[in-house]
Amino acid sequence: GDSWGIFTFLCAALCNLPALPALNCSEELGAGQSIQQTYDLTRYLEHQLRTLAGTYLNYLGPPFNEPDFNPPRLARAERVPSATVDLALWRGLTDNARLAANYRAYSRLLCYLRVLDGQVGTAELRHRLAHFCASLQGLVLSIGGVMSSLGYPLPAGPAGPPAPHGAHAAPNDFLKKMDDFWLLKELQTWLWRSAKDFNRLKKKVPPAVVTLRLEARGF
Amino acid sequence: MFSRWNWVACGFYLMLNICSPDASGGLVQSCGHIIPESPVLPLGSNFTALCILNESCLDFGNIYANQIIWKVKNRVVPKEQYREINRTVSSVTFNDTSSLATPLTCNILADGQIEQNIYGITVTVGLAPEKPKNLSCIVHQMSKSTYHMTCTWDPGRHTFLDTKFRLRYSWPEDIFPDCIPKGVNNSCTFHDVHFFVNTEIWVEAANALGKAESDPLILDPVDIVKPLSPQNISVIPEVLPTALKLSWENLISHSVIRLKFNIRYKILGDTNWMEIPAEDTASHRTSFSVQGLRPYTEYVFSIRCMKEDGVGYWSDWSEEKTGITTEEKPSKGPPIWRIIDASHSPASWTVHLLWKALRPFEANGVILQYEVTVRDKSSLSGPLKKYNVTSTNHTLQLPNGTYEVTVIARNSAGASPPSVLLIPANNSKGPVTNLRTLPKHDKLWVGWTAPNSYVLKYVIEWCLVSSSSDCIIEWQIAPGNVQGIDLKGIKPFKCYLITVYPLYADGQGSGQSVKAYLKQDRPSKGPIVQTKKVGKAEAVLTWNHLTVDEQNGFIRNYTIVYKTIDGNETVVTVDPSKTEYTLSSLTSDTLYTVRMMASTDNGSRSGPDFTFTTQKFGKGEIEAIVVPVCLAFLLIVLLGVLFCFNKRDLIKKHIWPIVPDPSKSNIAQWSPQVPAKHNFNSKDQMYPEGSFTDVSVVEIEADDKKSFSEQDLKPFDLLKKEKSTSEGHSSGIGGSSCMSSPRQSVSDSDEGETTQNTSSTVQYSTVVLNGYRDQTPVQVFSRSESTQPLLDSEERSEDHAGGADSTAQRQQYFRQHGAQDETNTDRPCFERPKQITHADEGDLVGFVQLQFSGQSSQPLGLGMEKNIQEAALSNVFQTSTEGQTLRPETVEENPLSVDEMPKSYLPQTVRQGGYMPQ
């Protein structure tokens, strides 16, 4: 069953490859720049999220906007991919596995975030959330691009539509806010860890590619 | 007939068809239609339209395709373009759509003439859009977290159609909303930009004729960012006086975009910017320390930034910010010089020390004070004198000697190195040579040749030479290695005196001076020329030099232009040092106009014209003429005199006859009655009566006229009287003189005496003679002494009888009766000269008074006049003056004198005789 699944994935991936201009582009520019760009984007998203989270938590109101608010993680929040994997264990994973994990995680997070976006009351916050979503979507694409450039297959799982919102609807407003709180918190953790991942990955890129990139810069 | 009805029926049917509503086909059932309906056609293509007639119309109205007429906007399309496809279909073909216009109509010619419109279409001609070219985008940072991406492109040719442009933006799996340009067709702005994802951007253009897409632009928007320039720049002085620390705020987080910077700066007021090397600011930062600046200088800074990797655009330059570096001690001592004034006393000097304020880049701060130190070099143990001065000059009174003066400038950071000057000028050292000047635009270059020995520096002194103000010395120091310097601030047309002193390590060389002009002009005035001396053929001209202020340049020469009124001009050039010139070879007695011109290198100006006339005669010519003339005249006179002298007897005989002296006659020996008669007879014999009378008449006539006018003007005029008296003497030999002094006859005591004293009569004659020719009263006086007693009594009587009435009465009496007592009249005549003599010896006034008093009793006296006038009524002879009355009397008396000699002899006696009855 697994081998069939992998096979179909690979087929799908191979079929999809020529259709993705970004991947073609990444190939042209090289994996190094692709990784750098993904890293920059991660940092940029971190930066965006810092201000966005503050604004959003204020929107949620107390106690969520209190600096030392640290509620216990509820069981129902588990469906949000957690980045709380042991660091040593995480480092022990292969690049491919980490990239795939990132890819999956951001794809899922993006789905929840879009739900969040639809619920926000103020236009300004909605606009910023939409912008963040778009950028996060870009990150998913970028990770996919990096994986392609490094020759890794894209994980198949999260390609489907996000879990229907109604099925996991929070029973009350506070719990819903708690979901939102954890969503943002997980996002921050993931972005922080992804930045480290890509920084590490960046250092592994072939020097020739780096030289080429520098030349391109210098030009 | 049939056909006609047929056509009418057809037309009716058509009308019916067009106008009446039809249940099946809407409002109007048309007789045909055109294919295609309202086409949009590419410009320049060919186009064919078909007009298809309805079968129903054919059947009823006999309408066929061959009757169709195509029209383009009321213009009939030529038949050649038609084609009848079948009975009901006609086509028209246009080879070029540009000849088409809207509407295109299909018409039918019903009944041969009536044109009926079947159908019409709107034709639109245009072009398909071109592929947009030159797409480019830039991301402008609008605020800290807002970015707008603006893309521009070349939309291509005009399509004549409504063409829509869309800017599209996509990720591999996402298409973002399109950007639709508003109001323009060549640019559009996205308000939501996502960095760090490769994005495809392209433009789509579409209209009815087609659609075109630009080449896609694939980029990461972060690579085309133009950031906002750094904000809130502050400039803080560093510890070093040559450094300033800049700090600023970036509007892009370094976690988003890392930046690099350009910093430019300049000294406040300068125009040229300096830039910090780009390598120094190639990394993200918020502050930078600018070094290598001048102390105590205000700088202006400005910063810009761009993405660190150099991909993208530079921001605009930030607003400018200024900052001042801190002070540092002055880098050099002030240039120092002196003016020594030794005029006050020979034993000491007044030394004016002068120094120049340091320029800002030398002063390195605010100069608080100057420290002046004076050391007497002649005495080794001489005390140092120190002065703290805030101005840039200092005056010292120093005894003659050698001094070393140092000046130090001090600011808050410290003191400058000292500037040293030796006093006095030991002028034995060599001066500069070959001092010269050259104007260079607005500067005056001064050049010299250095002396042989090593020169530390040169001092150049200059001052404006003016007649109206003192020479105010300006000076400048030049380093010892130069041999020329530009003087600034030199005014044109002004004379400058420039002196250069070389300064040696142990003294100073003597100064060399030169006068110079930056620019010369012609003089502002011409010299005023005058003549100093004018001769017959030459004239000495003289003039004054122009003042320095009037010269406007070096006077190179004077030019004298002189001419006669109609003659040629003569021009003479004169050396400028002269103030006098002699014109020679002039024409005598001619008016010359002379003008003088002063010339500088740049022109000349004339003074006023001066005219003079040369003399007619040369020097000595007049003397040469006058002297001989005078001598000749003198000679003639002398000759005349000599001639007269030689012929004096003849002349005397004619104009100076000898009058016999009565006193020398022997009449005195005769008895009083007889001899008197006899005597008179003898006299008559001696002088023929007729001739005598003649003389008398002539002379008195002259006298008459004179006295007549005298009476009108000045009856008492002294001189005239005198004359008339003397003439009276001469005329009547006592007769008229008696008349002129009738008062003498007014003495009471005379009566007896006159009759008795015959001798006095004789003496009288003597007196008259003397008085007449010799005019020597002395003789008369001596003679009169013998008759003194008579005179006394006479005088006394006169005093008593001063009244005018009595005199008048006597006069009247005298005139009426014409008494003939000559002795009476004689005596007063004799008296009067005596009185005159007295008066002459005394003063003139007394004389006048005497005369006046004497005359008061005369018939001519003022008081007498009325009486005379009254008398004239009765006596024709006495109507007027003395002379007039006298002459007729004389004439009358002459015949009488034949009978009574003594009475008739003198006119006076006649009058006096009238007195006798009293």
Q: Give the pLDDT band of residue A29 (cuts 50, 70, 90).
A: low
Helix (H, G, I), strand (E, B) or coil at B822: helix
Look-up of token digits 């495809």: B200
Closest-CA distance, A155 to chain B, in angstroms, reads 16
> What average pLDDT is seen over chain A?
72
Q: Do B218 and A138 touch (CB under 8 A)?
A: no
Higher pLDDT, A28 or B240: B240
Beta carbons within 10 angstroms of residue B365's beta carbon = 23
Which chain B residues have any C-beta within 8 angstroms of a chain A C-beta? Answer: 145, 171-174, 176, 192, 194-198, 200, 218, 220, 222, 253, 255-256, 309-311
Give the distance from residue B307's alpha carbon to the nearest chain A alpha carbon, in angstroms: 11
Bridge partner list, B571 = B561
CA A165, CA A180: separation in Å to the nearest integer?
13
**pLDDT score for B247:** 92
Q: What is the pLDDT of residue B140?
A: 93
Going by C-alpha positions, the residue among B322, B289, B294, B319 that lies closest to residue B304 is B319
Do B54 and B30 touch, CB atoms closer than 8 A? yes
B244 strand-pairing partners: B237, B290
Min Cα separation B264/chain A (Å): 23
Q: What is the mean pLDDT of residues A114-130?
A: 78
Nearest CA to CA, how far is B189 from chain A (Å)? 16
Which pLDDT does position A75 carry in this prediction? 59
**With contacts defined as CB-CB under 8 Å, which chain A residues touch B192?**
130-131, 134
What mean pLDDT is reported for chain B? Answer: 74
Query: Per-residue pLDDT for B384 more than 60?
Result: yes
- Per the structure block, which two tokens stand in for B580? 């006098």
B191: nearest CA partner in chain A: A131
Instruction: Domain B529-621: give its CATH superfamily.
Output: Immunoglobulins (2.60.40.10)
3-state secondary structure of A184: helix
- Name beta bridge partners: B140: B148, B226
Residues with Cβ within 8 Å of A84's Cβ and at least 6 positions away in sequence, in order, are A189
Q: Which residues contact B62 (CB under 8 A, 6 or more apart)?
A: B6, B7, B10
- From chain B, the residues in CB contact with A44 under 8 A are 195-196, 255-256
List helix spans (H) across B153-251. Answer: none
**Chain A, nearest residue to B219 by Cα:** A25
pLDDT at B755: 43
Geometric angle at alpha carbon B525, from B524 and B527, rounded to 5°: 145
* pLDDT score recorded for residue B149: 92
CATH 3.90.1170.50 for domain B334-425, yes or no, is: no
- Distance, in Å, from the CA atom of A58 to the CA atom of A121, rounded to the nearest integer, reads 13
The listed range with the strongest mean pLDDT (A105-109, B183-187, B311-315, B516-520) is B311-315
Identify the residue among B170, B174, B196 best suited for mutation to test binding to A, counting A beta carbons within 10 A and taking the highest. B196
Beta bridge partners of B34: B51
Pick from B92, B96, B114, B88: nearest CA to B105: B92
Predicted-complex ipTM score: 0.77
pLDDT in tens, A186-204: 888 888 888 888 888 888 7
Q: Tokens standing for B914?
A: 């009238």
Domain boundaries, chain A: 29-163+171-204
Confidence at B301, pLDDT banded by 50, 70, 90: very high
Give the mutation candidate from B169, B194, B260, B307 for the A interface (greatest A CB count, under 10 A).
B194
> Per CATH, which fold does B32-126 belong to?
Immunoglobulin-like (2.60.40)
Residue of B908, B897, B723 lying closest to B830 (CA atoms): B908
What is the residue whose two structure tokens read 């070389």? B502
β-bridge partners, B94: B47
Please tell me the predicted confidence (pLDDT) of residue B314.
93
SS (H, E, C) B881-916: CHHHHHHHHHHHHHHHHHHCHHHHHCHHHHHHHHHC
Reported pTM: 0.55
The residue ranking higher by pLDDT, A101 or B637, is B637
Assess whether pLDDT exceeds 50 at residue B461: yes
Classify domain A29-163+171-204 by CATH number.
1.20.1250.10
Say which CATH topology domain B227-324 has.
Immunoglobulin-like (2.60.40)
- The CATH H-level superfamily of B427-519 is Immunoglobulins (2.60.40.10)
The secondary structure of chain A as a DSSP string is: -HHHHHHHHHHHHHHHGGG-HHHHHHHHH-HHHHHHHHHHHHHHHHHHHHHHHHHHHHHH-TTTTSTT--PPPPGGGGGSPP--S-HHHHHHS-HHHHHHHHHHHHHHHHHHHHHHHHH---HHHHHHHHHHHHHHHHHHHHHHHHHHHTTPPPPSGGGSPPPPTGGG--SSHHHHHHHHHHHHHHHHHHHHHHHHHHHHHHHHS-HHHHHHHHHHHH-
B197 contacts in chain A (CB < 8 Å): 22, 37, 41, 135, 138-139, 141-142
Highest mean pLDDT (candidates A58-67, B461-470, B716-725, B834-843): B461-470
Tell which CATH architecture fits domain B133-223: Sandwich (2.60)
State how far residue B309 is from chain A, nearest Cα, in angstroms: 7
Query: Is residue B35 scored above 70 in pLDDT?
Result: yes
Is A17 in contact with A11 (CB distance < 8 Å)? Answer: no
Residue whose C-alpha is closest to residue B167's, from B196, B135, B129, B208: B135
How far is residue B287's CA from residue B292's CA, in Å, rounded to a whole number?
Answer: 17
pLDDT score for B526: 87
Of residues B457, B395, B464, the one with CA closest to residue B421? B457
Cβ-based contacts of A130 with chain B (< 8 Å): 192
Which SS3 state, helix, strand or coil, does residue B868 take? helix
Percent of chain B clearing pLDDT 90 (strictly above)? 13
End-to-end CA distance of chain B: 192
Residues B890-896 have a mean pLDDT of 42
* Residue A76 distance to chain B (closest CA, Å): 31
Interface test with B, best of A36, A38, A40 (most B CBs within 10 A): A40
Q: Rounded distance, CA B219 to CA B199, Å?
A: 5
Cα B186 from Cα B168, distance rounded (Å)? 13
Query: In a 3-state reduction of DSSP, which class is residue B334?
Result: coil
pLDDT tens digits, one per residue of B780-818? 444 444 444 444 444 444 444 444 444 444 444 444 444
Choosing among B255, B257, B258, which should be mutated to test the A contact, i.e. which has the most A CBs within 10 A?
Answer: B255
The answer, yes or no, to whether the previous bond of B527 is cis (omega within 30 of 0) is: no
Are B195 and A21 a contacting pair at CB < 8 A? no
How far is it between the farthest Cα atoms of chain A?
Answer: 58
Task: Give the pLDDT confidence score for residue A23 in this predicted structure.
Answer: 40
Find residue B349's DSSP bridge partners.
Answer: B398
Asked if residue B702 has pLDDT above 60, the reply is no
Contacts of B311 in chain A (CB under 8 A): 217
Picking from A35, A135, A140, A215 by the largest number of B CB atoms within 10 A of its own CB, the best residue to mutate is A135
- Give residue B889's pLDDT: 41
- Give the whole-angstrom CA distance, residue B313 versus residue B297: 33
Facing A44 at nearest CB: one of B172, B218, B256: B256
Provide the chain A residues 122-181 that lie in CB contact (below 8 A) with chain B: 130-131, 134-135, 137-139, 141-142, 145
Side by side, the strands of the sheet bearing B484-487 are: B433-440, B443-449, B484-487
The rounded distance, in Å, linking the Cα atoms of B821 and B908 is 9
Does residue B549 have a pLDDT over 60?
Answer: yes
pLDDT digits (tens, 9 = 90+) for B630-674: 999 999 999 999 998 888 888 888 887 777 777 777 766 666 555
A26 Cβ under 8 Å from any chain B Cβ:
yes
Token pair of B733, please? 């030999």
pLDDT at B246: 92
Are B176 and A217 in contact (CB < 8 Å)?
Answer: no
Chain B residues with CB-CB distance to A23 below 8 A? 172
Express each pLDDT in B201-241 by its tens digit.
999 999 888 899 999 988 888 899 999 999 999 999 888 88
Residues ≥6 apart with Cβ < 8 Å to B513: B435, B497, B498, B499
Nearest-CA distance B196 → chain A (Å): 5
28-87 in chain A: CB under 8 A from chain B: 37-38, 40-41, 43-44, 46-48, 51
Find all residues with CB under 8 Å of B479, minimum gap 6, and list them: B457, B458
DSSP state string for B356-379:
PPPPHHHH-S-EEEEEEEEEESSS
For chain B, the structural domain boundaries read 32-126, 133-223, 227-324, 334-425, 427-519, 529-621
Least confident interval from A60-69, B284-293, B352-361, B603-612: A60-69
Instruction: Considering only residues B32 and B916, tell me which one the structure prediction assigns the higher pLDDT.
Output: B32
Per the structure block, which two tokens stand in for B404?
């070393």
Select from B172, B218, B256 the Cβ nearest to the Cβ of A47: B256
Shortest CA distance from A128: residue in chain B: B192
- What's the pLDDT tens digit per position in B474-515? 888 888 888 888 888 888 888 899 989 888 887 788 888 898
Going by C-alpha positions, the residue among B708, B671, B655, B524 that lies closest to residue B600 is: B524
Side-chain-facing half-sphere of B653: CA atoms under 13 Å:
4
In chain B, which residues have their Cβ closer than 8 Å to the Cβ of A26? 198
**DSSP strand pairing (B610-613 vs B133-141):** unpaired
Using the predicted structure, report yes or no on whether residue A78 has a pLDDT greater than 80.
no
A residues 199..218 contacting B (CB < 8 A)? 217
Interface contact flag, B309 A134, Cβ < 8 Å: no
DSSP B52-93: EE-HHHHHHH---GGGEEEEETTEEPPGGGEEE-SSSEEEEE
Taking 60 as the threshold, does the pLDDT of residue B198 lie above it?
A: yes
Instruction: List the single residue in A22, A41, A217 with the smallest CB-CB distance to B196.
Output: A41
Q: For tokens 């002269």, what's the residue?
A: B578
Fold matches, B133-223 and B334-425: yes
Which residue of A49, A114, A127, A141 to mutate against B (max B Cβ within 10 Å)? A141
Has residue B143 got a pLDDT over 70? Answer: yes
Beta strands in chain A (DSSP E): none
SS3 of residue B571 by DSSP: strand
The one-character DSSP state at B385 is E
Find the range with the poorest average confidence among B352-366, B575-589, B892-906.
B892-906
State how far the Cα of B267 lies from the Cα of B289, in Å rounded to an integer: 16
